[in-house]
Amino acid sequence: MTPGKVHIVFGSQGAGKTTYARQVAKETRSTRFSIDEWMGEIFGADLPKPMSLPSIMERVQRCERRIWSTASEIAEHGGNVVLDLGFMKVGDRSKFLELAEAKGLPAQLHFVTAPHDQRRSRVMSRNASKGATFAFEVTPAMFDFMEKQFESPTQAELSKSISQSTAHEHEA
């Protein structure tokens, strides 16, 4: 059986990752996994007040492990998957590329980007409208904090994924 492809969608917040992931899932007949949806559904009502970054990150990692377990099984059985897990750090993206490679699954990076002001505006509008891609409120302080966490892809990172497939940049 031919394995399915693992699509890894990444970019900074408000870039349009979830919208793009939905588009890729539809076009490639893939099962989509979005960390914001999982976190909002499973932990949203139970998040500590005030929020504690270590406790949130521990929950994110638990979701990522469960998502990978399910997604890799789908791909091993021939289904395509789209991972919309944020992937803010080079190390996070590398880890999932390595996990896919270890299972013999083809993987493709999709870099989604947009200008800073547009991304910030989208996030604040999403908070107000609570539309299709809303999972939880991102305050201006949270946006500013997360903005500093994103690591842009290097040419080496993109070229590494090119050997598996072509990397894409998408203006949302």
Q: How far is CA 13 from the centre of its chain?
A: 10
Which domain range does residue 132 map to?
6-171
Number of domains in the chain: 1
24 occurs within a structural domain: yes
Task: Give the tens place of pLDDT for each residue, 19-31.
Answer: 999 999 999 999 9
Q: Is the pLDDT of residue 48 over 60?
A: yes
The residue count of the chain comes to 172
Indicate whether 34 belongs to any domain.
Answer: yes
How does residue 167 score in pLDDT terms, banded at 50, 70 and 90? Answer: very low
Res. 168 pLDDT band, cuts 50 70 90 = very low
Q: How far, CA to CA in Å, does 99 sit from each of 58, 65, 85, 104, 134? A: 19, 11, 14, 9, 29
The answer to whether residue 15 is domain-embedded is: yes
Between CA 123 and CA 2, with CA 109 as vertex, the angle to 5 degrees is 130
83: in domain: yes
- 147 near 90, Cβ under 8 Å? no
Give the alpha-carbon dihedral of 65, 167, 73, 133, to 10 degrees. 60
CA distance 125 to 4: 35
Q: What angle do CA 69, 30, 15 make, to 5 degrees?
A: 90
**Per-residue pLDDT reduced to its tens digit, 30-46:** 999 999 888 877 777 67
Crossing angle of the two packed helices 90-102 and 53-76, in degrees rounded to 10: 30
Q: Is residue 1 situated within a structural domain?
A: no
Q: What CATH number did the domain enclosing 49 receive?
A: 3.40.50.300
pTM (2 d.p.): 0.82
Report pLDDT for 161.
58
CA contacts within 13 A on the Cβ side of 63: 22
67 domain residue, yes or no:
yes
Closest CA to 154 of 123, 118, 109: 109
Q: 96 versus 36: which is more confidently predicted? A: 96
Give the pLDDT mean for 77-97: 94
